Amino acid sequence: MRLMRIGPAGAERPVLLDGSGQYFDLGGLTADIDPAFFAGDGIERVRAAHAAGSLPVFDATGQRIGAPIARPSVVLCIGMNYAAHAAESGAQPPEQPVMFYKAPNTVVGPNDDVLIPRGSKETDWEVELAVVVGRRARYLASPDEALSYVAGYAIANDVSEREFQIRQSGGQWSKGKSSETFNPLGPWLVTADEVADPQALRLRSWVNGEPRQDSSTADMIFNVATLIYQLSQVTVLEPGDLINTGTPEGVALSGRFPYLTAGDVVELEIDGLGRQRQLLQQA
């Protein structure tokens, strides 16, 4: 199943997009696709209602696509989780997952404008596999059980301002990650049962139609199961929490490409998870 939120910012409607391309209104089942939805077996309730034919059709024509989940309680990010990206960043591959936080209010729709912060000269793109937590995860016993805690997967653009992140940060990356609009998400949340192997997904990005990133989640240093297990040892993961799992090589930080400026268009795609498109605007 593909879960969506469609409508004006702040007034999105929860929607199901099924395999036939038909949209269905979930407003009778849930107020939103939020932590309460995941904690209350929302995915199974949607599945049952769809199978029973009880969901009303939804007309999505011409409507804005919002992020597929309501604002999460936390956005956890993993840095340098692809060896080639670590190298282009001038760092050695980490021996343990590098975790940092991103402000939850950075999460916006997949096609919303991205605002370049005032004073920014180094706004950058990062295509990432995003994981949404489906149930509370605390001190998991091993990575073997970790994927059972996943509600679904989506595309995230972990937009970054490198000067804020590196040279003005005092060592804390969140400063360069938390500007408004810096986490486009979606268009869909694809439920975990429809992603056979999260480590076999091609992920790509383009700027103004020119290729930038082209890699596979198979190249992650720490796979999704390991990340969830490791995170559960140091924090409690709650239903609806968002995890950005890292980006592959091909970003502007490498020095091979210019940073983003107003008027640029960024596009991102992951196999089976859809496609994003953002216009860069000055804040």
Instruction: Supply the pLDDT for residue 37.
Output: 98
Instruction: Supply the pLDDT for residue 86.
Output: 75
Instruction: Supply the pLDDT for residue 168.
Output: 81
For the chain, helix (H) and strand (E) counts, in that order, are 5, 18
Structural domains in the chain, CATH included, are 2-65 (no CATH), 67-282 (3.90.850.10)
CA-nearest of 148, 100, 142, 108 to 230 is 142
Instruction: Supply the pLDDT for residue 170.
Output: 75
Three-state secondary structure call for residue 8: coil
Give yes or no for a contact between 211 and 129, defined as CB atoms under 8 angstroms apart: no
Return the residue matching tokens 């999505």: 60
Give the type of residue at 94: P
- Burial label, 135 (beta-carbon count in 10 A; 0-12, 13-18, 19+): middle
Consecutive 10-residue averages of pLDDT for the chain (283 residues)? 98 97 97 98 98 98 98 96 80 90 98 97 98 98 98 98 86 88 98 98 98 97 98 98 97 96 98 98 98
Instruction: Supply the pLDDT for residue 252.
Output: 96
Instruction: Supply the pLDDT for residue 139.
Output: 98
